[in-house]
Amino acid sequence: MTTAIVWFRRDLRLADNPALQAACRHADRLIPLFVWSPGDEAPWQPGAASRWWLHHSLERLNEDLARLGNPLVVRPAGRALDAIRDLVEAQGVEYLYWNRLYDPALVARDKALKQWALEAGLTVESFRAGVLSEPWEVANGRGDPYRVFTPFWKAARSRDCGAPIPAPKQLPMPPAGLDRGAVASLGLLPGIRWDAGLAATWRPGEAGGHDLLEDFADGAAERYGQVRDLPAEPGTSRLSPYLHFGEVSPRQALRLIERVQDPEAAQPWLRQLYWREFGHHLLFHFPHTAEAPLDPRFADFPWADDEPALAAWQAGTTGIPMVDAGMRELWHTGWMHNRVRMLVASLLTKNLLLPWQAGARWFWDTLVDADLANNSLGWQWTAGCGADAAPYFRIFNPALQGERFDPRGHYVRRWVPELAQLPERWLHRPWEAPQAVLDTADVRLGRDYPRPLVDLAESRAAALDVWEDLKATNSPA
Ligand code: FAD
């Protein structure tokens, strides 16, 4: 009788799971294991919204495994190595399988764990399941990692990533006398229940992810190029948390293109899926970029230290409607539309001159799709200090952006209801509205809704001055 552990991490699915497939092939007994090991992930242990998602996703995975006769085995907070060693010793485990992750702390942890397991005489195998190509498989002509998206995309998309594997129809049985533990014992849900908005918005788990994927393939995927920038429209897939936790695999997402009627029209969406690949490529090759800028000119950027401004940004009370709408959408649902992520990040790093790392940390705690690779990429891109980044001098004007991408004001009215009565003409810049218009709309600036935290034009000019100084300091003598 051979016994295998399949160590689930961010691959919380039965289908297209190569580690699970290997165990089904080779073992007579199976331990499907999840270890809650936040210490292993430090300093980027999952934030509050991610923990909420993880709890529900593990519950669904447990149900799916139980239907096949072998429910999830759960181990509470501790080092993964300790939990796995205990199980190996108690159950005489011979095979250990997992799917690879690419965050720097996890690469180091998994390397050490593999070393230990090999020395302990186990057969250990890890697989590619969270990306379409391994970060080390895509390289430029000199064999170096890419830093610019378009050539990366051209190189990456021509690679064959294989077909998704179907879910197993049956599983090897569990060993006798196994203490399973319970997902609830991991304490992932918040003590004070702030999660009602998340629960009303999302259905974590493999089935929820696939329903969403199919709805998107049958509907918005072909219109993506036209509507992807309109935050009031359901125009993007919202698959990001499912891709992060691995309830949907990138290979399954890629296959979506075969279902849509007009695959050409869905190309812009595929491109975004490869931005995710690019993020993983960058984080793997430049692991310091979760904390520090990729562009060394930004290492000594004179960021401001302004706690009240940061708090107003976090709370969605900056007085700038598109920014406040985005920050409130984030707080309520654990997600924010990509266009609005760019706007709120631009306001923080450019108009307020606050460090991108402070914004990235807030996103980390509040996003259900918080992902070290994508979050670092998105923040550094917007701040102008990352790979293939928006140039620093490109500073979004959130009022103009609102007028362009939320022209009817549906998005702002939904998330900033105190402005609901304002006419479209003034909705994105209430500070310019005539007093009579504000009176009619029942808005008293400074009481019902804040005055803007910064003057957009002045703060833009100040940011550009800082940038000119930085360029002068860093230019060769
Ligand atoms: P769709 O538009 O349907 O795209 C499909 C998938 O492609 C997404 O689910 C995602 O996995 C990937 N993708 C799309 N856009 C990007 C992008 N710009 N960069 C990398 N991958 C992308 N995404 C995260 O998954 N986690 C994060 O923590 C995160 N933080 C961000 C922070 C900032 C400041 C910015 C500007 C962007 C961030 N993004 C992050 C990228 C992007 O905003 C989200 O992936 C996207 O909004 C998710 O919505 P969707 O699933 O509907 O995307």
59-71 pLDDT, tens per residue?
999 999 999 999 9
Distance CA 383, CA 354 (A): 10
From residue 29, give the alpha-carbon distance in Å to each of 6, 99, 114, 228.
11, 19, 21, 47
Distance CA 476, CA 460 (A): 26
Burial of 141 (0-12, 13-18, 19+ CB in 10 A): exposed
Give the torsion through C-alpha atoms of 229, 233, 236, 242, to 10 deg.
Answer: 130
Q: Determine the residue of 242, 313, 374 to mutate for testing ligand 1's pocket, defined as the one with the most ligand atoms within 8 A of the Cβ atom.
A: 374
Distance CA 368, CA 241 (A): 6
**477, pLDDT greater than 70:** no
DSSP 8-state assignment for residue 5: E
**397, pLDDT greater than 60:** yes
From residue 309, give the alpha-carbon distance in Å to each of 304, 408, 453, 459.
10, 29, 7, 13
Query: What mean pLDDT is predicted for residues 321-332?
Result: 98
Distance 223 CA to ligand 1 centre (A): 18
Distance CA 212, CA 372 (A): 23
Distance 77 CA to ligand 1 centre (A): 29
pLDDT mean across residues, the chain: 95
pLDDT band at 34 (very low <50, low <70, confident <90, very high): very high
262-276 pLDDT, tens per residue?
888 888 999 999 999
From residue 461, give the alpha-carbon distance in Å to each of 138, 307, 348, 402, 453.
40, 22, 15, 20, 16
Distance CA 333, CA 350 (A): 26
CB 211 within 8 A of CB 338: no
Atom 37, ligand 1: which residue's CA is nearest? 378
Atom 9, ligand 1: which residue's CA is nearest? 240
Distance 83 CA to ligand 1 centre (A): 33
pLDDT band at 30 (very low <50, low <70, confident <90, very high): very high
Q: Using the atom order of ligand 1, give the atom closest to the CA of residue 345.
A: 34
Q: Give the bridge partners for 29, in sequence order.
A: 3, 173
Global pTM reads 0.97
Question: What is the tally of helices (H) and strands (E) in the chain?
Answer: 22, 5
Distance 287 CA to ligand 1 centre (A): 19
Residue 50, both tokens? 């991610």
pLDDT score, position 193: 87
137-156 pLDDT, tens per residue?
999 999 999 999 999 999 99
Sheet of 3-8, strand order:
73-75, 29-35, 3-8, 95-99, 123-127
Q: Are strands 95-99 and 123-127 parallel, antiparallel or unpaired?
A: parallel
Q: Determine the residue of 270, 272, 342, 349 to mutate for testing ligand 1's pocket, defined as the one with the most ligand atoms within 8 A of the Cβ atom.
A: 272
pLDDT score, position 220: 86
Distance 311 CA to ligand 1 centre (A): 24
pLDDT score, position 210: 96
**Which residues have any ligand 1 atom within 6 Å of their CB?**
228, 236-240, 243-244, 272-273, 275-276, 279, 338, 341-342, 345, 363, 367, 369-371, 374-375, 377-379, 382
Angle at 450 (CA atoms; ends 444, 453), nearest 5 degrees: 145
Residue in the structure block whose two tokens are 């969403």: 212
Q: How many CB atoms lie within 10 A of CB 67?
A: 11
197-234 pLDDT, tens per residue?
999 999 999 999 999 999 999 888 889 999 999 999 99
71-102 pLDDT, tens per residue?
999 999 889 999 999 999 999 999 999 999 99
Angle at 9 (CA atoms; ends 117, 36), nearest 5 degrees: 85
For residue 349, which of 341, 451, 286 has the smallest C-alpha distance?
Answer: 341
Q: How many CB atoms lie within 10 A of CB 243?
A: 23
Give 397's contacts (C-beta < 8 A, 6+ positions apart).
456, 460
For the chain, give the percent of residues with pLDDT over 70. 99
Residue 357, both tokens? 């790392």
Q: Compute the Cα dihedral for 67, 72, 73, 75 and give only its sign.
A: negative
Q: Which amino acid is at 37?
A: S
Report residue 234: phi and psi, to 5°.
Answer: -80, 65
pLDDT band at 467 (very low <50, low <70, confident <90, very high): confident
Residue 321, both tokens? 């409607």
For the chain, give the percent of residues with pLDDT over 90. 90
pLDDT score, position 475: 63
For residue 295, which of 281, 306, 282, 276 has the smallest C-alpha distance?
Answer: 282
